[in-house]
A and B are shown apart, each in its own frame.
Chain A
């Protein structure tokens, strides 16, 4: 005599249901990862907010901002001195000249726009397309972008002092740089 108690049946049913749910969740997570992988895996929504917050602290204002820009460009040219030739029109030979100061502030202003709208994909796309247009035809080698990234990733922690996330910055910088380079 085999007595099947209803409780056991319910339990069995529930466990298969739970199993299915788990498989579903795992699948969903995998899909999410795959999607995220396409679109700069580590510069996700929360990371973008983090980068925005840290940028607001570092970008600061007034004279301090000029110095911040100056420090970044000194570090860039120290790595790739030959990059100065691109900036002849804006007196790249002397980073302290007013013309170059103005240019450095313009660059940071563009960067500021891009970072401010990191969490608005449509607006970000428009800005990156605009920047790509501006850089097109200048034949900027990828290693100059790399030098800019390295410079930024050293001056930023010096400016912030503490509480900064290098990995977050690296990922989100790549997103912006790729947009400017046109490597979508």
Chain B
């Protein structure tokens, strides 16, 4: 299974250009073989003629032949295949053409295969089950994984110092900062259940900038812009605010609270967990900062990088 996915991933990465190159070279091959077929056929016809009679005669014969072909007219291609070209070559040409079509089909299938990645799927199931099982650790603690159920403080995760016995707290997969790269845009539909009366609307979270302190690397400090496309009375309206917060490696949590407290509109904080086992999808809530009371839910997805 591992091998299959690795193979699929590898092919899918280089497939579109490679296949294009293959198709063009395929056509070249078909053309070449056709030309070779023609010249070979020509020679086959001239050689016995030269052997049987004088050069002039054979020339004349050839001309005669040409005239005859022209005279009979119309059926040039039919004769090309039946008389001039070796039937086996013609069959091969057809085979190559059908192979070409099959390759095109394969390209489409590879595109499809990319959409359902079994490894990602299993990772997501894994993450969901883990979430249901719980971590056996206290709040603000990170579970080192595997079977020894070790818990360490989330202040130590990804700080460059190995704190778990198995070293999971410094694992590259744990410390992947892909979710909060500056320029990332997460988008999803907000569904309000409390605090505000609003129809479902699209919310975008744009990561503007990040800082990771060398002396305290276990958090990434994030600045972001949160935009909501509201449906006003018959016209589109945008409500947006600047926010700052942090990303915690231990629970893959991105917390953002509004920076401008004197804003007339009251904006709610954004509390996101990348809980799908990947770095591009998150489950977020709009919350009251003080109590973490949930006002709205939105499932966001990374956009604009494909």
Interface residues of A (CB under 8 A from B): 63-64, 67-68, 70-71, 74-76, 78-79, 150-151, 154-155, 157-159, 161-163
A161 to B248, CA, bound (A): 9
Describe A's contact surface by its main secondary structure. Answer: helix
CB pair B289–A64 under 8 Å, yes or no, is: no
11 further A-B pairs in the complex, CB-CB below 8 A; given A74-B161, A154-B219, A158-B248: A68-B153, A70-B155, A71-B153, A75-B213, A75-B216, A76-B215, A78-B214, A78-B216, A154-B215, A158-B154, A158-B216
Q: Find chain B residues with CB under 8 A from A163 CB.
A: 289-290
CB pair A67–B246 under 8 Å, yes or no, is: no
Q: Find chain B residues with CB under 8 A from A64 CB.
A: 138, 140, 153
Q: Which of A79, A161, A162 contacts B215 (CB 8 A)?
A: A79
Interface presence of B255 (CB below 8 A): yes
B96 → A minimal CB distance (Å): 64
A47 to B248, CA, bound (A): 28
Interface residues of B (CB under 8 A from A): 138, 140, 152-156, 159, 161, 213-216, 218-219, 245-246, 248, 255, 257, 269, 289-290
Chain A residue at minimum C-beta to C-beta distance from B138: A64
CB pair B156–A162 under 8 Å, yes or no, is: no
CB pair B255–A161 under 8 Å, yes or no, is: yes
Given contacts A158-B246, A162-B255, A163-B290, contact A67 B215 (CB under 8 A): no
B27 → A minimal CB distance (Å): 61
Chain A residue at minimum C-beta to C-beta distance from B160: A78
A78 to B290, CA, bound (A): 32
Q: Which of A76, A79, A159, A162 contacts B155 (CB 8 A)?
A: A159
Chain B residue at minimum C-beta to C-beta distance from A67: B153
CB pair B155–A158 under 8 Å, yes or no, is: yes
Q: Find chain B residues with CB under 8 A from A159 CB.
A: 140, 155
Chain B residue at minimum C-beta to C-beta distance from A147: B215
Given contacts A71-B153, A157-B246, contact A162 B216 (CB under 8 A): no
CB pair A71–B255 under 8 Å, yes or no, is: no
Chain B residue at minimum C-beta to C-beta distance from A71: B155
CB pair B257–A162 under 8 Å, yes or no, is: yes
Q: List 15 A-B contacts (CB under 8 A).
A: A64-B138, A64-B140, A67-B152, A67-B153, A67-B155, A70-B155, A71-B155, A71-B156, A74-B161, A75-B215, A154-B215, A154-B216, A159-B155, A162-B245, A163-B290
CB pair B269–A162 under 8 Å, yes or no, is: yes
B138 → A minimal CB distance (Å): 8
B222 → A minimal CB distance (Å): 12
Q: Find chain B residues with CB under 8 A from A75 CB.
A: 213, 215-216
Chain A residue at minimum C-beta to C-beta distance from B152: A67
Q: Find chain A residues with CB under 8 A from B248 CB.
A: 158
